[in-house]
Structure formats: C-alpha cells, structure tokens
C-alpha cells in the first residue's frame, strides 16, 4: 500500500472506522512507515483538540486558560487604544480651534479689512476710554 492511500484513510484509522478489508494492509504499512505513523499522531492530536473545543463541557482548566487569554488580549488592545483616542481628541480640538480662528479672521478681513470691529462687538469688558467716560459722568454729577 502507498503512503498517500494510507494517509487518506488516517482519519478513519484515528476514529476506528477502517474498512475490514483494508485494516490489515494499513496496519502492516503503519508498522513499517514512520512518516505515516507521524501523520496518524497528528490526526489523532487534531481530533483530540477538536473534541476539547467542541465539547459542551470543556475541562475547567481549559476554560480558565482561554478566558485569561481573551482578557489579556483585550487589555492589550485597550492599552494600545487609549493613547490613540487621546491623540484623536487633541487633534480634533486643534482643528476645531483652527477653524474657529480662521473663520473669525476671515470674517474680520471681509469686513473692509478691519479686524477691530468684530473684536469690539465681542469684547464685553469696557475699554479704558469708556471707563474714563463713566468716571467723568459720575464726577460731573457730584
Ligand atoms: Zn507511509
């Protein structure tokens, strides 16, 4: 029997469902072929792994290990994620400030090139001249 023919049937060997007429030939080949023996071991390990994953009640140590791995992966992602969010927010803030400043200057320049007009209307605090005027008013009343 050739290796490729045996290896095609290795899953059935691992499950124990080898056709009776091939059983002796496969066993004879496996006994003398280390390559196919290795393949059979791999198939058995794969089957074992699949059974442990698909099992409705996985061993508790497996569950703990998987959960721990998921948790650490999430923590790593969060650690990589936070600084990026801060960076995006800072960039967004800078862009917002830039747009605000740009539109303010643009509006001021559109207004006959005078930048003081908008500034005065936005400034709620009285200027020095206004303060003096108020003071003069109060002194004049006395
Ligand atoms: Zn072989």
Report the domain count for the chain.
Answer: 2
Last residue of one domain, picked from the residues 55, 70, 89:
55
What is the pLDDT, as a whole number, of residue 9?
A: 92
Query: Domain of 48?
Result: 3-55
Q: Is residue 93 part of a domain?
A: no
Q: pTM here?
A: 0.39
CA atoms within 13 A on the CB side of 121: 7
CA of 21 to the centre of ligand 1 (A): 18
Q: Is residue 71 part of a domain?
A: no
CA of 49 to the centre of ligand 1 (A): 24
For 105-123, the pLDDT digits (tens) are: 777 777 655 555 555 555 5
CA of 34 to the centre of ligand 1 (A): 7
Name residues with Cβ closer than 5 Å to ligand 1, which is an ion: 3, 33, 36
CA of 36 to the centre of ligand 1 (A): 4
What is the pLDDT, as a whole number, of residue 56?
A: 66
Q: Is residue 44 part of a domain?
A: yes
What is the pLDDT, as a whole number, of residue 7?
A: 92
Last residue of one domain, picked from the residues 37, 55, 73:
55
Q: Which residue numbers in the chain have pLDDT < 50?
A: none
């Amino acid at each position: 029997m050739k290796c490729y023919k045996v290896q095609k049937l290795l899953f059935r060997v691992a499950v124990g469902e080898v056709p009776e007429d091939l059983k002796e030939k496969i066993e004879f080949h496996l006994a003398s072929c280390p390559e196919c023996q290795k393949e059979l071991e791999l198939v058995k390990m794969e089957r074992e792994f699949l059974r442990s994953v698909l099992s409705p009640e996985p061993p508790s140590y497996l569950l703990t290990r998987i959960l721990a791995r998921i948790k650490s992966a999430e923590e790593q992602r969060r650690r990589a994620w936070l600084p990026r969010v801060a960076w995006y927010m800072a960039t967004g803030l800078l862009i917002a400030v830039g747009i605000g400043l740009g539109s303010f200057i643009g509006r001021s320049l559109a207004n006959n090139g005078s930048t003081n007009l908008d500034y005065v209307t936005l400034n709620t605090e009285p200027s020095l001249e206004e303060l003096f005027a108020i003071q003069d008013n109060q002194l004049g009343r006395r």
